[in-house]
Structure 1
Amino acid sequence: MPLTRGQRLAQDAAEAADERAWQTHPDVVALRIERVRSQVDRLCWAGIVLGLAFTMTNVQVFAASSAAVWSLPWLAAWVLDPTVSLVLIAVLRAEQITSRYQVRTDRWVRAAKWFALAATYVMNTWSSWAAGSAAGVVLHSVPPLLVFVAAEAVTDLRDKLTDAVNVAVNARVNGRSTSPVHAPTDTGTVTGAETTADASSAGEESDSGGAVTDAVSARPAGRRRGTFGEYRETARRAWHPGVVITPAWVREVTGCSRGLSSRLAASLRADLVAEWDRESQP
């Protein structure tokens, strides 16, 4: 028997719901964002490398000064720009990884990056400033300044792309779960073989208004530094649907260190996704 119009619409609606469920699945969202991240990285790196290549000749002229062509000082002047550029590329490459996992670098890393960019700018525009050529200053200022802005922007872009994945994971979990899920209190790394703690323990449930207060009161007493499992348990008790799990939020509710908060946030998000997968299975 041919399907009626209502049956066809119901079938289309079921297929659309199934397709949308997979399109909004955290793993699918993460895969798409990773592809965008790769495109952003390639384009930014291409612009940075081309900009540094443009500055190489001017830096060589600045370093060689009046040395004779092919003399030893003239040849050594070609080494100056690659020296600065390689250090800058090394810092940017490291930030490419740390920003992906939202691990903040200290001030020395930023100082090294800014010094390399400032040195490149000064050496690239010095001759134009000395000659009083406004056109030359503008021409030779654009590439190093573009490299500087791109180096700062690409780090923030990677961090926001990671936030996009986190938002997708939390939105998926919040749409399926109506109560906080509690984690085991072991001190090791979270694995798929771990089981979740009993969520029915007395006093563990709290409303959204008192979640942070309960989490703060549950921190380990005294000056002793808490274990990974204790911090994670505290964060799990503080979490409720609607809360976006970020390292900053983990630090707020647990008082852990900045370096540990990224691991705790990733572990908590993985626990919630695994819990949702178990609940969604027939």
Structure 2
Amino acid sequence: MSITTPTPEPSPEDVARGLAEIERYVADRAPNLPVVEPAMPASAPGPVETENEDGETRRVRQLRAEVAEARLLLDLQEDDAPLLLDTPRVRRRRRAAHEAARLHELEQDPTMRAWQASRMRRILVVGAMASLALALGWSTAGVQEFAADGAPAWSPAWVFAWFVEPFVSLALLVVVGARAYLATRGRPLDDPKLMRIEWLFLLMSLGMNAWPYLPWSLADGEAFSIADLVMHLIGPVVAVTVVTALPIILAGFTSLDHGRRYGGTGAAYRANATGRYPSEYNAGPDVDALAARVRRLIEIGELPAEPGIHKIRKVLGCGTDTARDVAKVVRTGGAETGGAA
């Protein structure tokens, strides 16, 4: 049986010596371990009011900033400068008004007015010639029926009957085209022989279209129909209308004065255009050439021996001032050096 000796209780000096040995051991084994600071106790939730050097808190500074901003806004609201600025809609409207004014000014320019007249004249001539060609083409079927005279289909007589109207139409188009072109150059072609030839072609086309549908040309038992007659007369009637109206329209374009404005300010406007358009708007018409043409018309009996200003203006398609100068040259038998302005 063994006897256990009780361990003596360490003294405070022994405990302090042991702790010092443990701290020395840890310091030697882990010299680079970070030092852990003791945790701070958690603070109560809510904003922390901090004071600056003057003793003002954050709420005071925030309210001071709001007051300063309000005063600046009051000062700026009294300035009407933003109200004077043009909005995008106002700028678009001003741009449109400015463009309209420039276009109106451009339309009063003699060069622009001459270009507009030339463009419109070209459109009218093209439309009239196209209408004339279609009208003559429409009458081709009626003329073919007249020329075939009941020949069997695709027989030589039936086939050659289709070429009768083109013969007449091409000759007519030559005459009308020449008159239209010369009228655009201020030289209307009014020779009586040429006009008689023109009407001869038109009457031939009209008669060949209408003859098979007249009452005395219908077969026994066939009723007369005004609708058939009118349908076959449309082409020749349109052709007659175009041939008659086109030279008159072109003569009206030739007599236009592009140097004048509306409202009776022509003289002033032409004077302003003198420097800008000297060669085109200040030369004036050739009065001597027009007077020679009037003398030829007097010789062939188209005008009386002493034609008036109105008749000269109508036959030449010119203005009243030009017709007055031409009448003076024709009466005196001399030459006009200046020409009408």
TM-score band (shorter)? 0.5 to 0.7
Name the residue aligned to 1:230.
none
- What SS does structure 2 have at the residue aligned with 1:68? coil
Higher RCO (CA < 8 A, seq sep 6+): 1
Name the residue aligned to 2:49.
none
Length, aligned pairs only: 199
Shift of 1:25: 2.1
Structure-2 separation of matches of 1:175 and 1:14: 25
Structure-2 separation of matches of 1:58 and 1:177: 54
Distance change (3 Å), C-alpha of 1:247 and 1:58: farther
Once the two structures are superposed, residues 196-247 of structure 1 have per-residue CA deviations (whole angstroms, 9 ceiling, x without a partner) of: 9xxxxxxxxxxxxxxxxxx9xxx9xxxxxxxxxxxxxxxxxxxxxxx94665
Name the residue aligned to 2:192.
107
Shift of 1:17: 7.7
Q: 1:43 aligns with which of 117, 123, 127?
A: 127
Q: Do 2:209 and 2:233's aligned partners in 1 also have CA atoms closer than 8 Å?
A: yes
Structure-2 separation of matches of 1:247 and 1:111: 29
Q: Do 2:322 and 2:339's aligned partners in 1 also have CA atoms closer than 8 Å?
A: no
Q: Name segments (4+ residues, structure 1) moved above 6 Å.
A: 12-18
Larger radius of gyration: 2
TM-score (normalised: structure 1): 0.58
Shift of 1:143: 2.0
Structure-1 separation of matches of 2:99 and 2:150: 74
Name the residue aligned to 1:29.
113
Shift of 1:92: 1.1
Percent same amino acid at aligned positions? Answer: 22
Q: Does 1:70 align with 2:70?
A: no
Once the two structures are superposed, residues 56-91 of structure 1 have per-residue CA deviations (whole angstroms, 9 ceiling, x without a partner) of: 011011111132322222222122100100011111
Shift of 1:20: 4.7
Structure-2 separation of matches of 1:87 and 1:110: 13
Q: Does 1:254 align with 2:329?
A: yes
TM-score (normalised: structure 2): 0.49
Q: Give the superposed CA RMSD.
A: 4.0
Structure-2 separation of matches of 1:126 and 1:54: 16
Q: Do 1:54 and 1:143's aligned partners in 2 also have CA atoms closer than 8 Å?
A: yes
Name the residue aligned to 1:185.
none
Structure-1 separation of matches of 2:200 and 2:234: 17
Q: 2:226 aligns with which of 134, 153, 176?
A: 134
Q: Do 1:170 and 1:245's aligned partners in 2 also have CA atoms closer than 8 Å?
A: no
Which structure 1 segments of 5+ residues have no match?
A: 4-11, 182-190, 197-214, 220-242, 273-282
Which structure 2 segments of 5+ residues have no match?
A: 1-80, 86-95, 219-223, 292-317
Structure-2 separation of matches of 1:246 and 1:88: 35
- What SS does structure 2 have at the residue aligned with 1:168? coil
